[in-house]
Amino acid sequence: MERRNVGILGATGMVGQRFIQLLAQHPWFEITWIAASDRSAGKTYAEACRWKLDTPLPPRIAAMTLQPNVPEGSAVELPKIIFAALDADIARELEPKFAAVGCAVISNSSAFRMTTDVPLVVPEVNADHLPLIEHQSWRKENGGKGGYIVTNPNCSAIGLVLALKPLEEKFGIESLFVSTMQAVSGAGYPGVASLDILGNVVPFIKNEEEKMQEEVVKLLGAAKGDHVEMLDARLTAHCNRVAVEDGHTECISIKLRKPATFDEIVAAWEGFKPLEGQHLPSAPDSPVEYDHAVDRPQPRLDRMRGKGMTTVVGRLRPCSLLDWKFVLLSHNTIRGAAGAAILNAEVLARLGKFETKKKVLA
Amino acid sequence: MERRNVGILGATGMVGQRFIQLLAQHPWFEITWIAASDRSAGKTYAEACRWKLDTPLPPRIAAMTLQPNVPEGSAVELPKIIFAALDADIARELEPKFAAVGCAVISNSSAFRMTTDVPLVVPEVNADHLPLIEHQSWRKENGGKGGYIVTNPNCSAIGLVLALKPLEEKFGIESLFVSTMQAVSGAGYPGVASLDILGNVVPFIKNEEEKMQEEVVKLLGAAKGDHVEMLDARLTAHCNRVAVEDGHTECISIKLRKPATFDEIVAAWEGFKPLEGQHLPSAPDSPVEYDHAVDRPQPRLDRMRGKGMTTVVGRLRPCSLLDWKFVLLSHNTIRGAAGAAILNAEVLARLGKFETKKKVLA
Amino acid sequence: MERRNVGILGATGMVGQRFIQLLAQHPWFEITWIAASDRSAGKTYAEACRWKLDTPLPPRIAAMTLQPNVPEGSAVELPKIIFAALDADIARELEPKFAAVGCAVISNSSAFRMTTDVPLVVPEVNADHLPLIEHQSWRKENGGKGGYIVTNPNCSAIGLVLALKPLEEKFGIESLFVSTMQAVSGAGYPGVASLDILGNVVPFIKNEEEKMQEEVVKLLGAAKGDHVEMLDARLTAHCNRVAVEDGHTECISIKLRKPATFDEIVAAWEGFKPLEGQHLPSAPDSPVEYDHAVDRPQPRLDRMRGKGMTTVVGRLRPCSLLDWKFVLLSHNTIRGAAGAAILNAEVLARLGKFETKKKVLA
Amino acid sequence: MERRNVGILGATGMVGQRFIQLLAQHPWFEITWIAASDRSAGKTYAEACRWKLDTPLPPRIAAMTLQPNVPEGSAVELPKIIFAALDADIARELEPKFAAVGCAVISNSSAFRMTTDVPLVVPEVNADHLPLIEHQSWRKENGGKGGYIVTNPNCSAIGLVLALKPLEEKFGIESLFVSTMQAVSGAGYPGVASLDILGNVVPFIKNEEEKMQEEVVKLLGAAKGDHVEMLDARLTAHCNRVAVEDGHTECISIKLRKPATFDEIVAAWEGFKPLEGQHLPSAPDSPVEYDHAVDRPQPRLDRMRGKGMTTVVGRLRPCSLLDWKFVLLSHNTIRGAAGAAILNAEVLARLGKFETKKKVLA
């Protein structure tokens, strides 16, 4: 099978680097276009980027020239698939431009996540929200050959919603508390100052609690034509930054709509394999794994399960206030960002959403 | 005023070292007796102890000889006041022996905290529970000259109960959720292995959630003659260990019995000064301080407020599930252990509970 | 005694904050003027500064208004003594302006440290270099009432030169290796990104090795009229950043000109008290302390000795290549920056160098 | 090719776990026997081991039963190849017993490293020392079918000697200074207490400086029949523990016997490929890589190069005292321990040293 060309917006940041790393050997996609801010455009990737991952920067990418981050004026052909790792303010301005000229924009930004006709998707949870794209106004631009925007959730919401989905399906969710301990890589580079986090906790991440609270109910909601009906559940989030490089840990108390035993809940998690048989390159065998050890999951030990795409849950025990308590862990820059977007793209490829519009809608 | 002689059981551990540090210059108490396990007895303190605090080991203490940790056989006279920093299993065996021979045992251990007639006390919260000691059977031993045991709560419960007490008084507490991020010093030395906590979170501390849940309702309960009526409130705790040296951070959601505004809650905290006018050496001017900064409290920056005896609260904001959310911070080995016990002793001194039994009861 | 008015340039940075903290209760100096960059001028200190120290921001300073960082146009009178905590580029431009109008500029910057007629001083080491100021051209400006600039060394050089001075005096120094492990606070705020230092070492600090190598031989050199003759010794430095908040640790191998025993070296350090009897508020009782423990000094435990002004040395042992090896530790933002400048100012005050020029030179 | 059976002594410790991890998929060796202390013998590996690596414990090993750590009494057949990850005291007692009954003991312990007829080997450096085994007295035991002991160096010496070997070959080494910043995993589990290393440096590792100093000159020495002539070079080491999970960083100053330029030294490192063409499964393509970035190598980013078997060097620059300075990094539990031993075993397999003695010596 021929690999499709893809581009990366915001290629030099922390999430951009993860895109490079995860796509370097991808069987379906080939990076042919990378862009960064005006300051970096024209430089090679190696010159412009402070590579912060623990695998080597792929030499082919190192030598590529960064393009301006607009749809026009590239020295190389603009691919039809654009992965976007931009700050929200920039994404709000740039992503629509790429969609308007016909690109499928697979975005990790928060800019359009809550927009009515933009799907906010984690494939195992709500791939059925993807048809929302056909309602996007960008579709009609470019002489009817316009593209679309698909988003994935905030890094702290992805792991959570994976653990919640099988519970919602089997028992229904009424309400939940979640308290997070989030890794510094979630804030990008340079991001969190070392003086703020060495031997410390910062009990505040701007807008993070709001994002978790609103994104989870959209993700677990039902797509109804051109919009999503939010799940009727109440969620309260406490978000904290801790001295961990990668991997968000979350403590949850949950009230279910139907009674459930320990065994039934664990079985719901272990039986949750909605993508099985689709052979998507980035989909883990198990999106959710339960660990029976008394003190797991832990970020340093468990974040790379399923190549960083598996949510690990543990410590399921009764809650004296709601029904049950548990702990979960999810890799924040793989499953929580670049890997999430790539998995979205793989699903779109399977659905034929990367063909020309004519073919798709025919 | 003459200083009273005091002893320290478990003097070489982390909490024992804090006792040494905090009592070294104490205006009311003078350390005349220190004890440690059989292995260390007979050595000088300097020989037996790996001093881990960032102030120098006081030379007078360094030269003192460790006594066996039993009431008999000391080369120096056993003081009537014993601070105990023992593991629960050892405390369960040793503390009663000291009480039986007439000592006031001011214990930091969990061994007897939930025993019916043992007061579990934070002076600003429930000094009125102290009369429970008169019901203790140890009182009757030693020819009617027996002593007693007074305990302080777990390090994670003390900061919390200080923040809760004014809310209980003004508005009543119906239920709460608390998720902790606890410092490694809470586990003693060597305690937490560095391989377990560098770049990591351990979402489990043995028995900690149970202790928080049961101790808080006893502390906020009402002393009724020979026992305490527990507060009728529901509490659920999630306890985690993070890479912080000192200072426990806690995220709380709370449901009150009466509606309260932001200003009323902050006023309740700021107006909470139950020990004012008593001039206890270790009592902070403000047991609870509210910090209006958006990202505080933080352990590295705020743990030493009030010389480590003040609970700092911040980020009060509405909770979408219960009523309010906030963050609190408390120094775990000062207010949460040695300082708590010393403050208990100061109250007992003020109450005349260190005089001979005859005088006290007359 | 009346306190002299002082000002602080660069008051909001990490070193500026240390100046605020250390001068807040200073018996000789009173902060009456604080300045920061144009962006902050006009704001109160509390508004402009992200206070990162673990003692509270003094309320009087919090309410002070930041002045523009030029000698003119202040709403309050410009003091004659200016502590400067500026980046080198800015210092190079601004400090001479303040000297020209008559201020004594006590600088922590590297801008003029190696300038021929600018004294680079650690009082215990080379207070006799201070008369260099009389040769500075700024002295002649302002109608003959010009001021001067006095500097203190780089944070990594100060601790080292304190340990070396008594060895140079007693035995002579021929050559030395030094390998540092430096705290992140040395890079200011935000400074080192957490992703660069959590679980990591960065074996590079820009210009740091060069500064150590050139400053040490000036500090240990001899003032000859209008210049300093450098010490004839060879020094090679390896500088590293580690995950420590405060306190630089340094490993040293040294070759002496005369043979010296373990006891003689330790005696040289312990007997080194050149400021004794001068009663300078910031001078520690012992500028150098030797710790006989096998694994000390350590930054977390020893950086606050002498209120952060004492260099702690330890592990003196034979070197198989040069003569002796040892370890030293020094607090990098107290002794290594703000405290160093304040001690310089105290010496200048004792020497009468803060009186009007006429009186001084008469 | 059939895989050879191998056993692991000390299988549950940190190095033992690395053996399990690295051998789990090894093409030449198959773990058929694992042993641990008496306390653990009889339990399954999963029961006895607190698995601390970030890849899952292989299920086949998890279910294996731990044997007593003696050559007799195993429920399963004792393999002829034994990897040993024991503390030195225990190794001194146990390893000879296994050698005596005919096992090839591939040891990571320090117990016999400096023993005259025991080869201390890093294959790229001194595989020609391996014939020393034929002089070992254990060879003659067991009716002439005795085994032997082969050792690998201390974790801090391996990376260093790899960087030194090409310099010794091309230019000769006269003397060097090395200062280390070592990871906590080097101390095993629980090893370093978190209170000792969070925000701290411990400038002392017991016996480490001595080991580095003596092992390097043996490794770079020449095998002469039944012993090794040590390299005539002087080495001084300063060893420190820092808050890094894995990866030892070392700062080196070196004096060469012949002048060498920057380019010649880098060329020596890059051209150093002594095992090329041997197709050993654990040998990296490049045992030494030079990184031209100004601030590399760094442990978090570079320790996994060559699957943890490559030494990364960087920052080559002139030394004002000796000739050159540089920084190196090596993974301490892979190249520095288990991987080193496995590579030794691979070389022994290639040399036919795992065949029965008769065949080998015939």
Q: How far is C196 from chain A (nearest CA, A)?
A: 8
Listed residue (A103, A100, A126) closest to A113, CA to CA: A126
Q: Is some CB atom of chain D closer than 8 A to the CB atom of A190?
A: no
Contacts of A14 in chain C (CB under 8 A): 195
pLDDT for res C356 = 57
Q: How confident is the model at residue B360 (pLDDT cuts 50, 70, 90)?
A: very low
Q: Which residues 109-128 in chain A show a CB within 8 A of chain B?
A: none
Q: How far is D54 from chain B (nearest CA, A)?
A: 12
Q: Do B116 and B142 fall within a single domain?
A: yes
D156 to chain C, any CB pair closer than 8 A? The answer is no
Would you state the pLDDT for residue B356? 56
* DSSP strands (E only) in chain D: 4-9, 29-36, 67-68, 81-84, 104-107, 148-151, 173-181, 222-224, 227-229, 234-238, 248-256, 288-291, 311-318, 324-330
Q: Which two tokens stand for residue D172?
A: 């000769």
Q: Assign A64 a pLDDT band (cuts: 50, 70, 90).
A: very high
- C259 and C171: one domain? yes
Domains of chain A: total? 2
Residues of D in contact with B195 (CB under 8 A): 14, 52, 184-185, 189-192, 245
Residue A78 in this model has a pLDDT that exceeds 80: yes
pLDDT at residue number C177: 98
Burial C79-102 (b: 16+ CB within 10 A, else e): bbbbbbbbeeebbeebbbebbbbb
- Judge whether residue D362 has pLDDT over 80: no
Q: Residue C347: beta bridge partners?
A: none
Mean predicted lDDT score pLDDT of chain D: 95
Q: Amino acid letter at C204?
A: F
Compute the average pLDDT of residues D55-83. Answer: 95
Say yes or no: A162 and A127 in one domain.
no
> Residue range D218-231: average pLDDT?
97
Q: Which of C191, C195, C197 sits opposite A185 (nearest CB)?
A: C195
Query: Which residue, among C301, C307, C310, C312, would best test binding to B if mutated, counting the most B CBs under 10 Å from its CB?
Result: C301
Segment B120-175, tens digit of pLDDT:
999 999 999 999 999 999 999 999 999 999 999 999 999 999 999 999 999 999 99
* D325 in contact with chain C, both atoms CB, cutoff 8 A: yes
Rounded-to-10 torsion of CA B318, B319, B323, B326: -70
- Residue B2: CB partners within 8 Å, gap ≥ 6? none
Answer yes or no: is pLDDT of B183 > 70: yes
Instruction: Report the residue from D194, D243, D244 with minimal CB separation from B193.
Output: D194
Rounded to whole angstroms, how far apart are CA atoms D182 and D186? 7
- C207: region left, alpha or beta (phi > 0 left; psi from -120 to 50 alpha): left
Which carries the bigger pLDDT value, residue D189 or residue D38? D189
Per-residue pLDDT band at D360 (split at 50, 70, 90): very low
Question: Are C222 and C161 members of one domain?
Answer: yes
Domain identity same for A123 and A186: no
Q: Which residues of D touch B189 (CB under 8 A)?
A: 193, 195
Comparing CA positions, the residue from B88, B89, B246 lying closest to residue B154 is B88
pLDDT for C227: 96
Give residue for tokens 């492990």.
C181
B173 and B121 assigned to the same domain: no
| Residues in a beta bridge with D236 | D177
Report the distance separating Cα B127 and Cα B131, nearest Å.
9
Question: pLDDT digits over A290-337, tens only?
Answer: 999 999 999 999 999 999 999 999 999 999 999 999 999 999 999 999
What average pLDDT does the structure give for chain C? 95
Known active-site residue A251: no
Q: Note the pLDDT of residue A168.
A: 98
- CATH number reported for the structural domain that contains residue A285 in this entry: 3.30.360.10
> What secondary structure letter does DSSP report for D338?
I
Say if CB B268 and CB B171 are below 8 A apart. Answer: yes
Q: How confident is the model at residue B2 (pLDDT cuts 50, 70, 90)?
A: confident
Task: Compute the average pLDDT of residues B292-307.
Answer: 97
Q: Does A320 touch chain B (CB under 8 A)?
A: yes
Distances (CA, A) of D6 to B305, C197, D104, D341: 59, 39, 10, 12
- Chain A CB within 8 Å of residue D302 CB: yes
Size of interface B-D (CB pairs under 8 A): 62
**In chain B, what residues touch A233 (CB-CB under 8 Å)?**
none
The encoded tokens of residue A89 equal 């303010």
**Under 8 Å between Cβ of B223 and B160:** no
Burial label, C38 (beta-carbon count in 10 A; 0-12, 13-18, 19+)? exposed
Whether D64 and D44 have beta carbons less than 8 Å apart is answered as yes
Q: Do C192 and A191 touch (CB under 8 A)?
A: no
| Cβ atoms of residues A246 and A333 within 8 Å | yes
Span D249-300, pLDDT tens digits: 999 999 999 999 999 999 999 999 999 999 999 999 999 999 999 999 999 9
Q: Give the 3-state secondary structure of residue A359.
A: helix
What pLDDT is attached to residue A356? 57
From the candidates C156, C174, C176, C177, which should be mutated to test the interface with D, based on the most D CB atoms within 10 A?
A: C177
Nearest to A189 among C185, C193, C243 (CB): C193
Q: How far is C119 from chain A (nearest CA, A)?
A: 32
Q: What is the mean pLDDT of chain A?
A: 95
Q: Do D301 and A199 touch (CB under 8 A)?
A: no
**Residue A107 sits in the same domain as residue A199:** no
Do B177 and B239 contact (CB within 8 A), yes or no? no
Instruction: State the catalytic residue, choosing from B49, B103, B155, B239.
Output: B155
- Nearest-CB residue to C204 (from D181, D201, D315): D315
In whole angstroms, what is the distance from residue C147 CA to residue C153 CA?
Answer: 20
Pairing verdict, β A227-229 and A222-224: antiparallel
Alpha helices for C24-112 (secondary structure H): 45-48, 59-62, 88-100
Tell me how close the Cα of D115 comes to any Cα of chain B, in angstroms: 32
> Residues C72, C125: one domain?
yes
Residue C361 pLDDT: 38
Is B245 near chain C, with CB under 8 Å? yes
Question: Can you give the pLDDT at residue B75?
Answer: 87
Q: In this model, does residue B361 exceed pLDDT 60?
A: no
Measured between beta carbons, the chain A residues lying within 8 angstroms of D305 are 56
- pLDDT confidence of B358, banded at 50, 70, 90? very low
- Could you tell me the pLDDT band of residue A165, with boundaries at 50, 70 and 90? very high
pLDDT of residue A74: 86
The question of whether A248 is a catalytic residue gets the answer: yes
Place of tokens 């302080």: B152
CATH number of the structural domain spanning residue C107: 3.40.50.720
Q: Is C61 strand, coil or helix?
A: helix
What the block records as the tokens of B304 is 């030493």
Distance from CA of B246 to the nearest CA of D (A): 10
At C209 the pLDDT is: 98
Low-confidence ranges of chain C (pLDDT < 70): 1, 356-362
Location of structure tokens 């609970």: B311
* Nearest residue of chain B to residue A313 (CA atoms): B203
Q: Are strands A311-318 and A324-330 parallel, antiparallel or unpaired?
A: antiparallel
Identify which of C258, C261, C237, C242 has the alpha carbon closest to the alpha carbon of residue C160. C237
Is residue A2 pLDDT above 90, yes or no? no
Residues D150 and D242 occupy one common structural domain: no
B236: chain A residues, CB-CB within 8 Å: 253, 319-322, 325
User: Smallest Cβ distance to D298: which of C177, C200, C294?
Assistant: C200
Query: Which of A203, A238, A320 faces B295 most closely, judged by CB atoms?
Result: A203
- D184 and B CB contact within 8 Å: yes
Locate the chain A residue with the closest alpha carbon to B176.
A321
Closest-CA distance, C243 to chain A, in angstroms, reads 7
C-alpha neighbours within 13 Å on the C-beta side of residue B51: 21
pLDDT at residue A1 in the model: 61
Q: How many CB atoms lie within 10 A of CB B207?
A: 11
Give residue B278's domain range: 155-331
Q: Does D52 touch chain A (CB under 8 A)?
A: yes
For an interface test with D, the pick among C174, C179, C290, C330 (most D C-beta atoms closer than 10 Å) comes out as: C179
Contacts of B330 in chain A (CB under 8 A): none
Span B80-105, pLDDT tens digits: 999 999 999 999 999 999 999 999 99
CB-based burial label for C25 (10 Å; 0-12, 13-18, 19+): exposed
The C-alpha atoms of residue A92 and residue A82 are separated, in whole angstroms, by 15
- The pLDDT of B198-224, averaged and rounded, is 98
**Closest Cα in chain A, distance from residue C11 (Å):** 18
Nearest-Cα distance to chain C for A245, in Å, is 7
Nearest Cα neighbor of D37 from D11, D62, D55, D19 is D11
**Which amino acid, one-letter code, is at A286?**
S
Closest to D353 measured CA to CA, from D16, D106, D95: D106
The answer to whether D201 and D241 have CB atoms below 8 angstroms apart is: yes
For D340, half-sphere exposure in the C-beta direction (CA atoms, 13 angstrom radius) is: 32
**B315 in the same domain as B176:** yes
Percentage of chain D modeled with pLDDT above 90 = 96
Is the domain of B34 the same as that of B138? yes
**What is D259-301 written as a DSSP string?**
---HHHHHHHHHT--TTTTS--TT--S-SEEEE-STT---HHH
Chain A residues with CB under 8 Å of C190 CB are: 190, 193, 195-196
Which parts of A72-231 are beta strand (E)? 81-84, 104-107, 148-151, 173-181, 222-224, 227-229
Are A64 and A207 in a shared domain? Answer: no
Q: Tell me the helices (H) and strands (E) count for chain A, helix number first.
A: 13, 14
Q: Tell me whether D301 touches chain B (CB under 8 Å).
A: no
Catalytic residues of D: 155, 248
Q: Which residues of D touch B245 (CB under 8 A)?
A: 195, 198-199
